[in-house]
Every structure is written in C-alpha cells, then in structure tokens.
Amino acid sequence: MATAAVLALGIAPFILALAGYHWAAFGSPLRTGYAYSTDEANRRGFMGIVGFSQQSVAQLLWTPDNGLLVLSPWTALVPVGAIYVAADAERRARVGRETLVAAFIVAVYLLFVASLEPEFGRGGWELGPRYIAVAMPFAAWLAVAGIEAVRRVPVLRVPALALVLAGVLMIPVLLLLRFRRATAIRVSA
C-alpha cells in the first residue's frame, strides 16, 4: 500500500501539469487537441476509439496493404511462443514473468488498435497498423520463443524461418514501393 501511495505522489505532479496544459490550451483538463482536428475520424468516440469492428480487426491483422500478419508474417509465431512458455513449468520458472508482461503488452496494443475508428487506425501513408510499433519488440521476444518451439519439430522449422525471412524482406521492398508511389504523386500534382 505504501508503494502505491509513493507512486501516486510521484505521478501526481505530471498529471496535474498535463491537465493544466490541456486546460490552458483547450479550455478543459479533459479535452485534447483531437477535439480540434480537421479529420473527422479523430473526433469520433474517445479520441478515435470507437470499439471493435470487423473492418478494424481485418485492417489490423490481414488486409494486404496494412495487415500485421501480411506485412510481418513472423508475428504468427507470437501466440506459439506464449503457449510454449506457459506449457512448461521449467520455462515458466525461468521466463514466465517476462512472457506474461510481453503477452500483456502485445494484447493491450492489439486490442487498442482493433478498437480505433478504421480510418484513424489506418493512419495514412504508414506501413503497417498504426500505433503497433511500440508492441513489436515484445512481439519479437515472444516470436523467438515460438521459433524455439517449432525448432523441435523438423517439419515446422523451415516454414517458421520462412515467415521471419519474408517479414525481413517485405518491409524494405514495400517501403521502396511506397516511396516511389509518393514521389510519383508529388511530381504529377
């Protein structure tokens, strides 16, 4: 209990400073700059958070131009890694807490992005789902555990490593194609 009180006291000045800024800049401590955005998607729901929709989930996971499983196919190994650690007492004792934290962070970000207004979650010219980059190191940590799990099954080794290789090669190629498309649009305008 004492730790929570100290933590709250440590956080309080920053929360008050942020609330003061919002009050001075936007007229209320609970109003953000999104209230004045010219993009209607930012003003829907609570700062673009509107709840789950089939379109948001599809856009997050499997649409060809933005889906996480399409652009970073190695992320299919994330649940495999989490289950691999959770299924064995020795692995849980060694890295169970880290696995739990990583899985929690990945799950929270996936749920967050899946609950955004589809247009807002897409986010324009970026490559991949918006806001998910923060969770990717934790997803990678779990994917490594997934690779360890499938490494023990010879028939799954090559497909698992192919997922990783496809993700590594896909991002630079798609970035180059998007850059070429953006410059072509700029030149023709």
Which tens digits make up the pLDDT trace of 74-112?
A: 999 999 999 999 998 888 888 889 999 999 999 999 999
Check residue 123 and give its pLDDT.
64
Residue 1 has which token pair?
A: 């209990």
- Arithmetic mean of pLDDT, 56-72: 86
Check residue 180 and give its pLDDT.
58
Check residues 55 and 186 and name the one with the higher pLDDT. Answer: 55
Residue 41 has which token pair?
A: 């998607």
Q: What pTM was estimated for this model as a whole?
A: 0.76
Check residue 124 and give its pLDDT.
62
Return the H-helix or E-strand segment holding 42: helix 40-43
Of 11-15, 127-131, 135-139, 156-160, where does mean pLDDT reach its minimum?
Answer: 127-131
pLDDT reading at 16 higher than 60: yes
pLDDT reading at 188 higher than 70: no
Q: Which of 134, 123, 131 is nearest to 42 (CA)?
A: 123
